[in-house]
A and B are shown apart, each in its own frame.
Chain A
Amino acid sequence: MIEVLTNPNKFFEERMKGEESLKIPVLIILISGLIGGISAFFIAGITMELLREALPPEAMGIASTIGGIAAFIVAAIASFVSWLVFTALFFGISCLFKGEGQFKRTLEFVGYGYIPTLIGGIISVIFMYYFVYYMYPTMGIPPVTDPAKLGEALEPVMKSPMMQLSYAIGILFMLWSANIWVFALKHARKLTTKNAVITVAIPMAAYILYSVWQMGLM
C-alpha cells in the first residue's frame, strides 16, 4: 500500500493485473470522510457559539449537539460525493483523449489517490483543535443576533492565519493526491502521461483556485 505513495506508477501497473475491487477505496474514503467530519464538527462548534444570542438558551444545547453531528455526517458524505465527482470529471475529460477503461476501475484507482488526504486531514484536525480551543477565544468575535449575518461573523475565522495554514496543507496534500491520480488515470484509462496530467490538472486547477479564493488571497 505504501507503494501508492512512493511509486504510484508501479502500484497501479500491478493493480491492473488484478480484479476490480472497491473495498479498499471505500474504506479509504470512509476514513477520509470521518477525519473531515471531525474538522466540520469543530467549525460547527464555533458557528453555534456565534449563534448563542440568536437562539434561546434551552435550544442551545440541543442545537450544538445536533449541529455538530449533522456537520460530521455531511462532511463524511461529502467525501464520497467528491470521490464520485472527481472520478466522473476525470472519466469525462479522459474521454476527450480517447481514454479506455471501465468507470469502476477509474473509481477504484481514484479512491487510492485519497490516501494522502488521510494524512493531511489528521494534520488539519490537529491545527483545527488548536485554533478552536486556543486561538478563537482570543479573537473576541461578538455573537450574532441575526443568523443572516453569520457568514460575515465567520469571515475573521475563515481568514485567520491558522485557517489559512489549514487550507495550505489541504492544497499540498491535494497536489500529492493529484500526482497519484495522474498515474491512476494513465493506467485505468490507458492514457499517455501527458494526457493524464492534463486530465487531472484541469479539475485540480479549479480546486486550487477555489481554495486560494477561500484563503482570501484573491
Chain B
Amino acid sequence: MRQTVPALILLVGLVVVAGLSSVCALDTFGSGTAEQKSSIMITGYQVSPEVLMRNDIGTVTVTVKNMELVNSVNIKEAQMLSPSVKVLSDYYLGIGRLGPGESLNLTFTLKAVCLDGIYYPRILVKGEDAQNIRYSIPVTVDSSSLTIGVKDIPEDIFTGERAKIELVVGNPRQNTATGVKIVTENNTVIPSEVFIGELPADEPKVASFNFTPQTTGAHVLNFGLEYKNGDNIHSTALSVPLNVTESKKNAELILTGIEVESMPGVNVCKITGDINNAGLKEANSVVMKVDDAEGIEAMHPYKAYFVGLLSADDFSSFELNVEVSENETQVPLIIEYKDEDGVLFSVAEYISVDRSEGTTDTGELPVAMIAVLVVIAVIVIGLIAYSWKKR
C-alpha cells in the first residue's frame, strides 16, 4: 500500500501534463489553420556604389523570394523608407504574383544627402495573404575623396629643358573608383591627359608628365583629378608651383672681336668676328643671320653664315655682309642654334655701325693710298716741270 500511493500521484501528474500539452498543441494548430499566411523573404540585397559619397546617387537592389513550396504569393506593394537618406524612387504598387520558390529583384534609388556614417533605410514589402516584411539595409556614406600629390619633381627646372613631373593618385576609400584620369590644360605639359582607369581601395597609381617651360619665373601647373564613384563624377584639383630659371648648363653664345668694315660708296658693311660658346653644352646647327629691319638688308656673298656645331669652350669666326642705309646705326643679328633635343633657340645681338671709323679703316680709300697718289702726283708734276726747265 505504501508503494501504491506514490504511483498514483505520478500517474495523475502524467495525466495532467499530458492534458496541458494536448491543450497547447491544439491551440497552436488551431491558430495556424485560421490565418493561412504565406511566407516571403528578402534573401539578398546590393548597394551600388558600395560606399556612397555625400550627395551621391546610388541604388539599393533587394531580392524578394516566395518561400512557399506550393502556393504563389501576390506582392501588392514595396517601398523604401528612410529618415536620413533621401529616397528618390517611387513605390512599387501591384507588383504581381510570385510563384512558389521564385524571386524578384526590386531596385530603389537614393541620394546620400546626409553626413558621413552608416544608415539603415527600411524596405517594406506587403503581400496578399502574406506577412509584411520590414528589412533594414545598411548604407555607408563616406565622403573621403581620392588624393593626388607630387611624387617626384626636379629640384631645378630650366627654360627649354624637359622636366619630368611624377604625380601619385591614392584611393583612401573603401570601394573601387573608376574612370580615374589626370588632366591638364597647360600647353607646356605633355601629355595633356593620363588615364588610369580603375583604382581599387587603398591603392596608389603613378602618372608622369613632361614640362618644358619657355619662359623663366614662377609657373603654376594646374592638374585635375577626375574619377567616378558609381555613376557620380568627382574631381580634385592640384596646383604645383614651380620656379623656372635659365639653364646653367645650356650653350651660351657670345660674340667677340667684332669688326665692321664699311664701304660708303655702296653702303655695304662687312661684319666679322668670333662666336664663342661659353656654356657647358654644345650648340648644334649654329646659324648667324641679319634680322629683318627697315634700312637693313643682308647681301651676298654672306647673307647668312653657317657655323654648325659649336662645342663648349669652342669658337668660330664668322662673316656677314649687310647693306645699311645712311640713317641706321645698328645692325640686328640673330644667332640661332639647337640643343640636343632639337629645340630651337634664338639670340638677338646688335652691332653698332660707326661709319667714321670705317672710312679710316678700309671703307673708302685708305689713307696710305691717298698719300701714294699725292706723292705720285708731286713726282710726276715735278718731273714734268724739271723737263721743261732743262729744255
Contact = CB atoms under 8 A, between A and B. Distances in A.
Interface of A: 5-10, 116, 123, 127, 130, 134-135, 137-143, 156, 159-162, 165, 168-169, 172-173, 175-176, 179-180, 183, 193
A180 B391 CA distance: 12
A160 B265 contact: yes
Given A116-B380, A139-B263, A140-B321, A7 B362 contact: no
Given A127-B369, A138-B269, A183-B387, 14 more contacts: A6-B383, A7-B386, A10-B390, A123-B372, A134-B362, A137-B270, A138-B261, A140-B301, A140-B322, A140-B323, A141-B300, A162-B369, A176-B384, A180-B387
Q: Can you list the 5 inter-chain pairs with the closest CB atoms, starting with the nearest?
A: A140-B299, A138-B270, A140-B321, A7-B390, A140-B268
Interface residues of B, number: 30
Nearest to B391: A9
Contacts of A135: 263, 362
Interface in B163-219: none
Contact of A172 (B362, B380, B391): B380
B235 to A, nearest CB: 63
A173 B377 CA distance: 9
Where chain B touches its partner, the secondary structure class is mixed
17 contacts: A9-B390, A116-B380, A135-B362, A138-B263, A140-B266, A140-B268, A140-B301, A141-B300, A156-B266, A165-B365, A168-B373, A172-B373, A176-B380, A179-B384, A179-B387, A183-B387, A183-B391
A7 B322 CA distance: 52
B372 to A, nearest CB: 7
Nearest to A7: B390
Contacts of A142: 299-300
Given A138-B261, A160-B265, A143 B300 contact: yes
A122 B384 CA distance: 20
B373 A165 contact: yes
A6 B386 contact: yes
A65 B219 CA distance: 65
B376 interface: yes
Interface in B361-391: 362, 364-365, 369-370, 372-373, 376-377, 380, 383-384, 386-388, 390-391
A16 B323 CA distance: 60
Given A6-B387, A9-B391, A156-B266, A138 B380 contact: no
A159 B380 contact: no
A120 to B, nearest CB: 8
